[in-house]
Each structure stands twice: as structure tokens, then as C-alpha cells.
């Protein structure tokens, strides 16, 4: 069996130790080192083992565990990776920054993350690019504690601006840079200052769900199915769904990212993974019911209703291909909300931020 360089555990190179520490800060970098130390080991329980019959091993890291990123699981279950001669391992990481750092260290070969997180990384000079679109339109939902809802007479029928004005003074849980970006977006839409909220970093989705249950935070942004699952457990409700905001409905969102230099030297592997993900996208967009067994395996505690609601809340990308308009919308949204100021990032088709070249639509089945 052939193993791609970086698919197994590797030490973070010294040159990246210095660079990543400067970019991410000490606390975040410590998390990166911990994540990189375990990457490439046995796949997570949610990911299952690699398919039989492959000859090349690669590792795909997920910034968080969302329905959009289960494109990886569907591609495995449907045999798209195995057909391309790949053994695919998964690694669940703690946010986009950690995922990108793992990419740069070589601990993972691919990362599932968000478009705005990639734009942020490009402003810092990281040599990364998106090679497949998993879904588009922001699928994040605002989960608010029942106590806060009752005290402020809130309901899911209120406009987004009203919701955020009612949230003034709240403690907002933040899992990743993506969450914080859209917290700021909602605040801007409501015309309220970011200083009107307290932001509390959460280590994981489960930590955020627990924190809202025990009153440590009042609300947080999260993607399905965790939002619907948390709502089903009581203590909190989904009050707003960003997918319903017209300005966010067509922008690039969940993406597959690689290190640009690694992609150039491993073109066949990148093509195989990008095409497999595109095949999975087509199944998930055309027939959500067909992937329910895979979703149930990945999320064994969640009901069929929760999983179907989650699949319908995400717009999976036909053939996994980007359009220039998707990225213009993503850049526009990033520039509206970034506390670091507008990004000096070119998102044209030849910019090196994204490409469709690895998918090769003519090789897709169907």
C-alpha cells in the first residue's frame, strides 16, 4: 500500500512552528500541536474505517462536524474513493485555524472548512486553495437558550435584525473564526455594536451545547444537525437560519481545501478526491433520502427527522464546481464583517484562491 506523504502522523516542521505560532497565537497553536500529534492515526468513530481495495492513503480533516462535511462520509460509503484507488481517513479538528495549520504541517492532506476562513487565511499569506465546493449558502443557525427567549419574548418568526437587538447583552459562544464572522454579520444587520456582546470561546460543538444548557452562554451559531439535535433535547431553540438571508444564499460556503504546493506534486490524488466529493455532492443534492443510512451511521443518536431537516437546510453544489459569483459574494460578506478590515484578496478564477481544474466534470458518472 502506498501512503501519501502527510497521511500519517508527522511533526510540525520548525519553519511552520514559528509561522503558525505567529498567525494563530499561543493557545490556538497548542491545540494545533495536539491535533497534529494524533492526525493520521485510526479514523474517528464517526468516520469509520477506510474502504477496502485502495492503494493510496490520504487524510481529510474536518474543521467541525457538520452535515455539509459528511460529503466525505457519503463519498466513502458510496465507494467513490475506493473506485479511485484511495483509502481515506478522517480527522475531526477544532475549527478552521487548526484545520489549516494541520494542512500546512502535513498532518492532513485535505481540509473541509468555510470560504470566509480560507479568505482570512489568504490574507495571512497561507498557500492554500479550494479545489471543490461542498455546498453554498450559509447553513448556520442561531440557537438561543429557552431562558433568554422567555425573558426577551423572542420567537423564530422575528426578523433577523429584531432577533439580534433582543440579544444585546448576551454571552455568545464561539467555536471557530467562521462563527465569529457571522456573529458580526448579524450584529451589523441589526445595527448594534459588537461591544454589546460577550464572546466566549468553546472547545467543541458539544461543549457549546452543554454551556447553553447550564447558562454559561446564552446563544451560539452552529450548523445542522447539531442545532436540531440540541433543540430536540430542550433548553434551547433555533431562532434564526442564515440560509434564509438572500445576501448569503448563493455565496461559496463549505469547501475542500489543499496546500497549493502539495496539490501540484500530488495532482492525481487531488483529482481523485475532488471528483469523489463532487460525486457525493450530486447524490446529496439530488436524493437526500438516499444518504440517510450513511448519515445515521455518522450520527447514531439523531433521528431520521433531524437528519432530513439538516440535509434539506444545506444546498449541496452540483458537480462540486465553483462559480466566480460564489466567491465574489463570499469576499463581499467577509469584507463587511471582518474586524481586521477589508481583505486584499483577489478571488478571480485565476487567483489561486479556488479552482475547478481537479474535478474534470467529463469524468463524473451520470
Residues 6+ apart with CB under 8 A from 257: 99, 100, 103, 110, 111, 112, 113, 118, 128, 129, 130, 131
Q: What pLDDT is attached to residue 243? A: 84
Closest CA to 51 of 82, 78, 23: 82
Handedness of CA 196, 200, 202, 206 (dihedral sign): negative
Closest CA to 116 of 92, 95, 102, 101: 95
Each residue of 160-190: pLDDT tens digit? 999 999 999 999 999 888 888 899 999 998 9
H helix or E strand, kind and range, residue 257:
strand 252-259
Residues 6+ apart with CB under 8 A from 123: 340, 343, 344, 345
Q: What is the CA radius of gyration of the chain?
A: 19
Closest CA to 258 of 181, 352, 177: 352
- In three-state secondary structure terms, 60 is strand
**How high is the mean pLDDT in each 10-residue block of the chain (366 residues)?**
39 38 39 37 36 74 94 97 94 90 94 95 95 96 96 93 96 89 91 95 90 95 91 92 89 97 96 96 94 97 95 94 96 85 88 93 68
CA distance linking residue 217 with residue 195, whole number of Å? 16
Give, as one character, the DSSP assignment of residue 354: B
Residues in the chain: 366
Residues 6+ apart with CB under 8 A from 190: 160, 161, 162, 163, 164, 165
CA distance linking residue 199 with residue 91, whole number of Å? 27
Residue 133 β-bridge partners: 255
Domains and CATH numbers, the chain: 2-136+250-363 (3.40.190.10), 141-248 (3.40.190.10)
| Whole-prediction pTM | 0.80
Which residue shows C-alpha cell 478522517?
A: 90
- In three-state secondary structure terms, 38 is helix
Q: What pLDDT is attached to residue 317? A: 96
Amino acid at each position: 500500500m502506498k501512503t501519501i506523504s502527510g497521511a500519517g502522523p508527522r511533526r510540525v516542521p520548525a519553519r511552520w512552528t514559528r509561522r503558525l505560532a505567529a498567525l494563530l497565537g499561543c493557545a490556538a497553536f497548542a491545540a494545533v500541536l495536539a491535533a497534529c500529534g494524533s492526525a493520521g492515526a485510526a479514523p474517528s468513530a464517526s468516520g469509520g474505517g477506510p474502504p477496502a481495495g485502495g492503494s493510496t492513503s490520504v487524510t481529510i480533516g474536518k474543521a467541525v462536524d457538520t452535515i455539509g462535511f459528511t460529503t466525505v462520509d457519503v463519498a466513502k460509503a458510496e465507494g467513490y474513493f475506493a473506485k479511485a484507488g484511495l483509502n481515506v481517513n478522517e480527522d475531526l479538528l477544532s475549527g478552521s485555524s487548526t484545520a489549516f495549520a494541520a494542512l500546512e504541517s502535513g498532518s492532513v492532506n485535505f481540509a473541509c472548512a468555510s470560504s470566509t476562513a480560507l479568505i482570512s487565511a489568504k490574507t495571512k499569506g497561507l498557500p492554500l486553495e479550494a479545489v471543490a465546493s461542498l455546498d453554498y449558502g450559509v447553513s448556520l443557525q442561531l440557537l438561543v437558550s429557552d431562558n433568554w427567549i422567555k425573558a426577551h419574548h423572542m420567537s423564530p418568526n422575528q426578523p433577523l435584525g429584531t432577533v439580534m437587538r433582543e440579544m444585546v447583552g448576551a454571552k455568545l459562544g464561539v467555536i471557530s473564526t467562521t462563527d465569529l464572522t457571522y456573529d458580526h454579520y448579524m450584529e451589523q444587520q441589526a445595527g448594534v455594536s459588537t461591544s454589546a456582546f460577550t464572546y466566549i470561546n468553546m472547545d467543541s460543538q458539544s461543549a457549546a451545547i452543554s454551556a447553553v444548557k447550564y447558562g454559561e452562554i446564552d446563544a451560539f451559531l452552529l450548523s445542522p444537525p447539531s442545532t436540531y439535535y440540541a433543540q430536540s433535547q430542550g433548553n434551547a431553540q433555533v431562532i434564526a437560519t442564515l440560509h434564509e438571508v438572500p445576501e448569503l444564499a448563493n455565496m461559496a460556503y463549505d469547501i475542500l481545501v489543499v496546500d497549493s504546493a502539495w496539490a501540484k506534486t500530488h495532482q492525481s490524488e487531488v483529482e481523485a478526491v475532488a471528483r469523489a466529493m463532487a460525486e457525493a455532492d450530486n447524490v446529496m443534492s439530488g436524493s437526500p433520502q438516499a444518504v440517510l443510512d450513511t448519515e445515521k451511521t455518522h450520527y447514531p443518536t439523531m433521528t431520521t427527522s433531524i437528519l432530513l431537516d439538516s440535509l434539506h437546510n444545506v444546498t449541496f453544489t452540483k458537480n462540486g464546481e465553483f462559480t466566480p459569483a460564489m466567491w465574489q459574494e463570499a469576499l463581499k460578506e467577509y469584507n463587511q464583517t471582518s474586524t481586521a478590515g477589508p481583505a486584499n484578496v483577489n478571488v478571480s478564477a485565476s487567483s489561486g484562491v479556488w479552482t475547478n481544474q481537479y474535478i474534470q466534470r467529463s469524468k463524473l458518472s451520470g
